[in-house]
Structure 1
Amino acid sequence: MTDKARTVVFHETGGPEILRLEDRTLGEPGAGEIRIRQKACGLNFIDTYQRSGLYPMDLPHALGMEAAGVVEAVGPGVDHLKPGDRAAYAATPPGAYAEARVMPAAQVCPLPEGIGFDTGAAMMLKGLTVEYLFHRTTPISKGDTVLFHAAAGGVGLIACQWARSEGITLIGTAGTDEKCQLALDHGATHCINYRTEDFAARVRELTDGRGVDVVMDSVGKDTFEGSLDCLKPLGMMISFGNASGPVPPVNLGLLAQKGSLKVTRPTLFTHIADHDTCQSMAMTLFDKVKTGAVEIRIDQRFPLEQVAEAHRTLEARKTTGCTILTL
């Protein structure tokens, strides 16, 4: 097959203006690969990190890490998918901003009936991230307290609902009163407007001075030290993103001074590298969505040709919930 597909590509690092829509030739899938005709693509902060050069990549390169669509063809060795299957994924290598693509099959998951393509495209990277944060990073039990930054974002609103479904107290932060209310509406027990309150002081107040068991921080540089001040002794800091920039070097002695704290910097793609683990994580996510414990909120939709504007909106913190590119 020599069909072509419109694909978002960047030839140099920089701002959203460098993104280009190009026709790329599709071929037949090789061993361990599929060809998927996509219905919608998800937008994530990691895409902006790659575009800007914070996460270096060989150039030119396609962009995007999650999408949903219909499998058109499978290569040798692929037995969990077949042509005609509905599917969704969060996966490497980047290239999801496209009408269709040939890609490795291991992290592509059968999409259950009853979950739409838009929802599938919006939830895979964010939902699988929440799954590993709550189930695979450090033990979190019913009754524990978690501080979650950016609680009104795509990952955050899933995390608020996930915590509620498992009896976990979630204290969120957000940048406006409206975003705080959105987090509360989705299951956060408390939400702090970090622009009008000292979030670390407020967390201490809400926990009667004890601090939280776990901090989940995707903001990075601007919140890292304050997040450490929110932890109880022996607490765990999970730094899983850099929305405000990378965290500067840390003196490990600071962790001892603040109560023998623990810090980890996980990534989703380490967790889903194993095929069976990825499929198991996806089933947990699908179950949360199918039972109604988690609703995937899509608040922004942009056509593929407006991808640069979508990036500008995301980086300006003007989004809530999930954002998708439509095809």
Structure 2
Amino acid sequence: MAFAIRFDRTGGPEVLHRVEIEVGEPGPGEVRVRHHAVGLNFADIYYRSGRYPVTLPAGLGVEAAGVVEAVGPQVDGFRAGDRVTYTGSPLGAYSSERVLPAAQLIRLPDEIDSVTAAATTTRGLTAAYLLRRIHPLRAGDTVLLHAAAGGVGLIFAQWAKLLGINVIGTVSTEEKAKIAAAHGCDHVLIHTREDVAARVRELTGGTGVPVVFDSIGATTFDGSLDSLSRRGLLVSFGAASGPVPPVDPMTLTGKGSLFLTRPGLADYIADPAERAELAGELFGHIAAGRIAPEVNQRYDLSDAVRAHHELESGATIGSSVFTL
């Protein structure tokens, strides 16, 4: 019998529970996929806690990799036995198998195993659009990256090094600082004990950086603004410490005519051609060994409660996956 992790009310990790499910056959434009690995992402906490509203009861998870088991009518390009990965709505990746739209699938190269795919599809495509679509970064540019030892951060730093971009990374501990440095960060700041904006100014000769990539949110937002050079761009793409406060546009003017964007991955992979291009670049780097994802936490899918506790506490490093 297939199973899934569901929640009937919002709250802490304890609201998650396992249920048996009937998956059924795929309809027009759909496929049934048996999961081999499921991605664990910080956004899963937002859905579970109620920060991102969903209709309850609900499944959880947006990312998984596995094998196509059945194909419905009007599906072109996929057949039973194909190895695939995906990221995006609808929720429900925390399951042993599921039916979903074929349009979401990305075919996996032979060199990429399911665990690597589940650990890097969301994080890797996020790093891809941050580096390749948000701002015209050039070799020699210096950027500030928060959460540099996280799943996105470790991929981002390695990719930035390939592009000749210098990265000032922030982390919360000495252990994470060593890992971030080993994966491409040119400078690593421990934000829990350093004035990040002051150190960024020091490292850039007083000018600041043209772009800050901030997935932490509330606790780092002001420092991120103060780290930017004139007409710099703050890319706020997450809120691990809580949502950022309301921003008076005059604040941006007063700090150097700054720009602020709050992007979402979905809008950068909505176009199938663009998604294929970004995925091809990502998996090409991984297959060639130019980017080495760190899958440091592996959990049984039935152990979702413990996995969420550890992710939410900040105890994890790199990427986390569920295996089946």
Q: TM-score range by the shorter chain?
A: over 0.9
User: Structure 2: how far apart are the matches of 1:76 and 1:136?
Assistant: 35
CA contact (8 A) 1:91 1:108 kept: no
Match of 1:61 in 2: 58
Contact 1:213 1:232 in 2 (8 A): yes
How far does residue 102 in structure 1 lie from its aligned partner after superposition? 0.3
2:130 matches 1:114: no
The correspondence for 1:70, drawn from 67, 72, 76, is 67
1:319 paired to 2:313: no
Distance (Å, rounded) in 2 between the aligned partners of 1:105 and 1:247: 35
Q: How does 1:1-327 map to 2 (within 5 A)?
A: 4-327=1-324
- Shift of residue 276 of structure 1? 2.4
Give TM-score, length-normalised by structure 2: 0.98
Q: For residues 148 and 122 of structure 2, what CA distance do their matches in structure 1 show?
A: 16
- Give the 4+ runs in structure 1 shifted more than 4 A: none
Any idea what SS the aligned residue of 2:56 has? coil
The code of the aligned residue for 1:220 comes to: G
What displacement does 1:14 show? 0.4
Whole-Å Cα distance in 2 between the matches of residues 5 and 270 of structure 1? 32
**One-letter code aligned to 1:98:** S
Amino acid corresponding to residue 237 of structure 2 in structure 1: F
What is the RMSD of the two structures over their aligned residues, measured on CA atoms?
0.9
TM-score (normalised: structure 1): 0.97
Tell me, in whole angstroms, the C-alpha distance in 2 between the residues paired with 1:155 and 1:174: 13
Cα deviation 1:116-159 (Å, max 9, x = unaligned): 11101100000000001011112111111110000001011001
3-state SS of the aligned residue for 1:300?
Answer: strand
2: CA distance between counterparts of 1:298 and 1:78? Answer: 33
Between the aligned partners of 1:77 and 1:256, the Cα distance in structure 2 is 52
Query: Contact conserved, 1:34 with 1:71, CA < 8 A, in 2?
Result: yes
- One-letter amino acid matched to 2:279: A
Shift of 1:213: 1.2
Paired residue secondary structure (1:106): helix
Match of 1:288, SS state, is helix
- Compare 273-282 and 290-299 and name the one that shifted more: 273-282
Number of residue-to-residue matches in the alignment: 324
**Counterpart-to-counterpart distance in 2, 1:33 and 1:288:** 30
Contact kept, 8 Å, 1:149 with 1:156, in 2: the verdict is: yes
- Equivalent position SS for 1:129: helix
SS in 2 for 1:325: strand
Letter of the 1:165 counterpart: L
1:165 to 1:137, Cα distance in 2 relative to 1, 3 A: same
